[in-house]
Amino acid sequence: MATDAPARPAAPPKAPEQTAARGRGRRSRSHLGRFAVFGAPGLMVYACFVLAPVVVSVAYSLTNHNPFSPPTEFVGLRNFELLFRDEEFLQSLKVTVQLTAILVIVPNAAGLGIALLLDRKGWFYNAWRAVFFVPVVLSSVVVSLVWTRLLADDGVVNQALGRVGADPVGWLSDPGLALYSLAAIMAWQMLGFCVVVYLAGLQSVPGELLEAAAIDGAGVLARFRHVTWPLLAPALTINTVVLLITAFKAYDHIQVITNGGPGSGTTATVAFVILQTGFTANRQGYASAMALVMLVIVASAAALALKLLQRREVDL
């Protein structure tokens, strides 16, 4: 009976392109599925802990939110208007910029110098590398407590100065000096990180390039300037961006060493003022506006630094 049935027209043969396109579509869906399986948990965590707080901060920044003084009202851009007339915030911006300038330049320069000295083989140099790296792994609070004692009015540093006949210095109590003391402590802690990154960079400089330059008659300085330094560009980028972000986020050292003082705001960074405003004065709407301004500044500064420094890497 089946034989009597009119034969169905045979399906036209599939074009090879069509088959390939379907195959590509299946593969692409399969890739998408795999990406979703492995990527979704991470994306969800990122969305919950990074994106959601940013979105919530944006929403809060447009309100007068104070958890202890309801109701919360929409105030539009008023927080941002007030911010740029707020002496405390402007002072904290100034302090942050000063701290950042010191923290980006000093450990970078000193780290490069030390890395050049330690770029040799042997247990002696390995031991020194470890010595320089130890502060990096210490907690900021521990480092801060130790330095607070060392720099106290009757601390070891002033006692040493006293022995050579010098007057004690108000390292942390002199408003003109406290920020520099704080920056020096933070620079000291970050120095080891820069040293290690520069050492890694130095060890990736091909020896034959240096040899070729030497054969061409280049001296030590010329070899550094024309061979080593350009090849250290990626290390410089990493150090600069990490130091930039560290300086902008500075909070724990300040909390432990100076509490933003001496006096009102002489060492208070933007991050410190945000926490004080949000959690001590309870003005969380206003603090969110500060946090957003800080986010924009940090993101812009990091992007600019990356762009400038990476261009140098590309131009090699």
Partner 1 sequence: MHTSRRAVLTAAAAALTLSLTACSVDEGAGTSDPAGKRQITFLTFETPNLTPEYWNAAIKRIEKKYPDITVKKLVAPTTDRTAYAKQLLASGQFPDVMIAVAPTGLGDAGNLYAWQPDELGDFQVPDGGAIDGKVYQLPANTQSIPVVYYRKSMFKQAGISAPPRTYAQLLDASAKLRAKGIQPFVVGGGKDGFPTVLPLTGTVATDVYGKDPDWMVQRRAGKVKFTDADFVGALTKVRQLARRGYIDKKMVSLDYAATEQAFLKGKGAMYPMGCWFAAAGDKSAIKDDIGVFHWPTDDGSPLASGYTGGGLSVNARSQHLDAAKKFALAFQLDKSNLDNSVRSDALFPAVKGYTPPADTGPVFKETYDLWREASEQKATVKAFAWETGGDALLPGLDAKVHAAAQDVIIGRRTPEEAAAFLDTEWDKAS
Task: Summarize as ranges the residues that interact with partner 1 (CB under 8 A).
Answer: 29-30, 33-34, 36-38, 40-41, 43-45, 47-49, 52, 67-70, 86-88, 148-149, 151-154, 168, 170-175, 178, 255-266, 276-284
* 133 versus 251: smaller Cβ distance to partner 1: 251
Gap between the Cα atoms of 243 and 1, Å rounded: 85
Q: Does residue 103 contact residue 243 with C-beta atoms inside 8 Å? A: yes
* 20 versus 40: smaller Cβ distance to partner 1: 40
* 52 versus 101: smaller Cβ distance to partner 1: 52
* 35 versus 125: smaller Cβ distance to partner 1: 35
Gap between the Cα atoms of 113 and 126, Å rounded: 16
* 108 versus 258: smaller Cβ distance to partner 1: 258
* 142 versus 212: smaller Cβ distance to partner 1: 142
Gap between the Cα atoms of 55 and 272, Å rounded: 21
Min separation Cβ 103 and partner 1, Å: 21
* 14 versus 26: smaller Cβ distance to partner 1: 26
Cβ neighbours of residue 56 under 8 Å, at least 6 residues apart? none
Burial 217-256 (b: 16+ CB within 10 A, else e): ebeeeebbeebbeebbbbbbbbbbbbbbebbbebbbbbbb
Min separation Cβ 165 and partner 1, Å: 18
Min separation Cβ 172 and partner 1, Å: 4
Q: Does residue 248 contact residue 302 with C-beta atoms inside 8 Å? A: no
- CA distances from residue 222 to 168, 214, 293, 313 in whole angstroms, order as listed: 44, 9, 43, 19
Min separation Cβ 141 and partner 1, Å: 8
Q: Does residue 289 contact residue 61 with C-beta atoms inside 8 Å? A: yes
Of 72, 78, 37, the C-alpha closest to 56 is 72
Of 133, 137, 104, 151, the C-alpha closest to 257 is 151
Min separation Cβ 41 and partner 1, Å: 4
Min separation Cβ 40 and partner 1, Å: 5
Min separation Cβ 157 and partner 1, Å: 12
